[in-house]
Chains A and B, each alone.
Chain A
Amino acid sequence: QQQVKQSPQSLIVQKGGISIINCAYENTAFDYFPWYQQFPGKGPALLIAIRPDVSEKKEGRFTISFNKSAKQFSLHIMDSQPGDSATYFCAARYTGKLIFGQGTTLQVKP
């Protein structure tokens, strides 16, 4: 099964709050899990990525938590800002190709 299931579909967070987006997968052959951020009219931009031998990776306000046994990974955005308002995609790589989640539209209210 090569699907990646992403939730929630949309998310509204107050400025300064924590945004959490979750993804789940079935295929244990996935070897790389990136998160992309996409603004309207732009292509997806690589935000942060993790490999399955690591349980957590932090870059600035963005953290990926990875649970290999549960086949789940999540993106945490700390101190969310209005400029973070965008669509976020999780993805998993299999044989070199990325399988994307359906996306989460995040709105951060001032």
Chain B
Amino acid sequence: KAGVTQTPRYLIKTRGQQVTLSCSPISGHRSVSWYQQTPGQGLQFLFEYFSETQRNKGNFPGRFSGRQFSNSRSEMNVSTLELGDSALYLCASSLDAGQGYEQYFGPGTRLTVT
């Protein structure tokens, strides 16, 4: 069974631009979560989607948004990029939402903002 895939793997953007990252969960998985990983802050939860609805949201500004499609694929968008948004963005999928389901991570998208 194929794992979680994320595209693109690497991205370089300029301050003020916006970016869209894509995540395809493991086949059959319906829940997708997004995390930001930086050397200083570690791994931080962004949001979780299930059945095209946002179930959970972390403490990030409104510039960070996401959505999920009917096939469970998810995208996250960051508008008005700042230098501090440079990070590895990780997507994780699980079979279902809520308690009792393991999350499996993709390889991440490395975003560099210049």
Binding site for B on A (CB under 8 A): 31-32, 34, 36, 41-46, 49, 89, 91, 93, 95-103
A43 with B42, Cβ < 8 A, contacts A96-B56, A96-B97 known: no
Closest residue of B by beta carbon distance from A42: B107
A contact residues around B64 at 8 Å (CB): none
Nearest-neighbour CB distance to chain A for B93, whole angstroms, equals 11
Q: How many residues of B contact A (CB 8 A)?
A: 24
In the bound complex, CA of A42 to CA of B90 (Å): 10
A contact residues around B21 at 8 Å (CB): none
Binds A, one of B11-19, B65-73, B74-82, B98-106: B98-106
Across the interface, do A98 and B56 meet the contact criterion of CB distance under 8 Å? no
Does B58 have its Cβ within 8 Å of any Cβ on chain A?
A: yes
Nearest-neighbour CB distance to chain A for B54, whole angstroms, equals 11
B contact residues around A91 at 8 Å (CB): 43
A97 with B45, Cβ < 8 A, contacts A32-B99, A43-B4, A44-B90 known: yes
Does B22 have its Cβ within 8 Å of any Cβ on chain A?
A: no
In the bound complex, CA of A34 to CA of B55 (Å): 21
